[in-house]
Chains A and B, each alone.
Chain A
């Protein structure tokens, strides 16, 4: 899918809550060797939202900073899409609250997206289409999550919180979104039924037929459509449910460790679901130079992948003017908490029994 007119990123920013918990402290509670689990997943710590943080607050902070970097006012925002699988309400769009908090209401279109971990990149594609067709001037695409695994489930070692927002528009771009493509199938690797607090997953079914198949096929399709290969990119960002999967996928497709390193945040903050690829791309843009090419491939269970071919422009040098913290600065602010504080924060202890 190639945009009709040039479209790209005018501003971006990410936000990650400062609390962290280590696999060792999670494992202790369940009589497991958390350190071994953490090493297996290549996760040293994961982010935990404060009790007053959720997808609305994370999205709002990221969008506010992204607007500062894009140097645009709230009345220049024509669309807001928030991709998440942990929207605070089942019915009542996150995007409406984010739009109001940015003072962008009422003259804009807004909606929430859900596609497991790739809801954020789906929002990218929608904004690309609306901008390149000339229907809107600027749209905000957000991917954010505060996901949870059931207590004692293997997912508990990785489910984390964070997100990033992108101002998608035309003219004065920090980076061009040159091409995108998707790969979608009906695959039951991971799901959460309506009304349930925690997800279920297909165990071993989550790797090969799900993540690897979609990420590889989607990336190869982008190569085919653009005539490019791994050697044409300076950086690559892959969805990162743990530290193992993106490394393995990158290697299989032909990328080096150096190409994926800047966007690999999972080791320190865990799996931020819909926030993972947007945050990984933000961290990569933070250190990119004019002319750099970035490949991005997200993955969402259920299942699908979105790939993007991105070229950084000379405007990237200007972002330093806008006192917005880099991803490195944001994630370096960390406070480690115990499992009991974590359980209190995340409402894992239910007084009423639900």
Chain B
């Protein structure tokens, strides 16, 4: 599992989906970047944090049967690549849905869940997963 300082630094993007947008070319990035790889120098100090709306749709998905031990209570579980309304793509678990009901293009929304824990005595890691929504 990741060390605590790194998790803590990334709390904003994990909990709320905070990305960054290049004010030069309007391109959005998640995770947030300090420099836009396309505009490079022109984007320096010109990147602004932007909060993702949390809604998107499934691009691809797969069911994982032999998970990493920290997820073994959830096995099997579904991982998906989700294209957010803002155009960026995120990878995350799909919850509250069975594999046979998942399809590409399915509308989903981010919801906060436990991602894992350091150990039985350690820190609990929270972050977004996705669940299906109507419309």
Q: How far is the CB of B109 from chain A (nearest CB, A)?
A: 10
Contact between B126 and A101 (Cβ–Cβ < 8 Å)? Answer: yes
Assuming A18-B96, A100-B15, A101-B126, is B73 touching A51 (CB within 8 A)? yes
B64 interface hit (Cβ, 8 Å)? no
Interface residue from B16, B51, B74 paired with A52 (Cβ < 8 Å): B74
A84 interface hit (Cβ, 8 Å)? no
B11 interface hit (Cβ, 8 Å)? yes
Contact residues of A: prevailing secondary structure: loop
A206 interface hit (Cβ, 8 Å)? no
Complex CA distance for A57 and B126, rounded to whole angstroms: 8
Number of interface residues of B (CB under 8 A): 19
Complex CA distance for A89 and B124, rounded to whole angstroms: 9
A56 interface hit (Cβ, 8 Å)? yes
Least CB separation from B77: chain A residue: A52
CB 8 Å contact bits of A313-345 with B (1 = contact, 0 = none): 000000000010000000001000000000011
A97 interface hit (Cβ, 8 Å)? yes
Q: How far is the CB of B132 from chain A (nearest CB, A)?
A: 11
B95 interface hit (Cβ, 8 Å)? yes
Contact between B11 and A61 (Cβ–Cβ < 8 Å)? Answer: no
Complex CA distance for A56 and B112, rounded to whole angstroms: 8
Complex CA distance for A18 and B111, rounded to whole angstroms: 14
* Chain B, 82-118, CB within 8 A of any chain A CB: 93, 95-96, 111-115
A171 interface hit (Cβ, 8 Å)? no
* Chain A, 49-64, CB within 8 A of any chain B CB: 50-54, 56-57, 60-61
Spell out A's residues near B (CB within 8 Å): 18, 50-54, 56-57, 60-61, 88-89, 97, 100-103, 323, 333, 344-345, 347
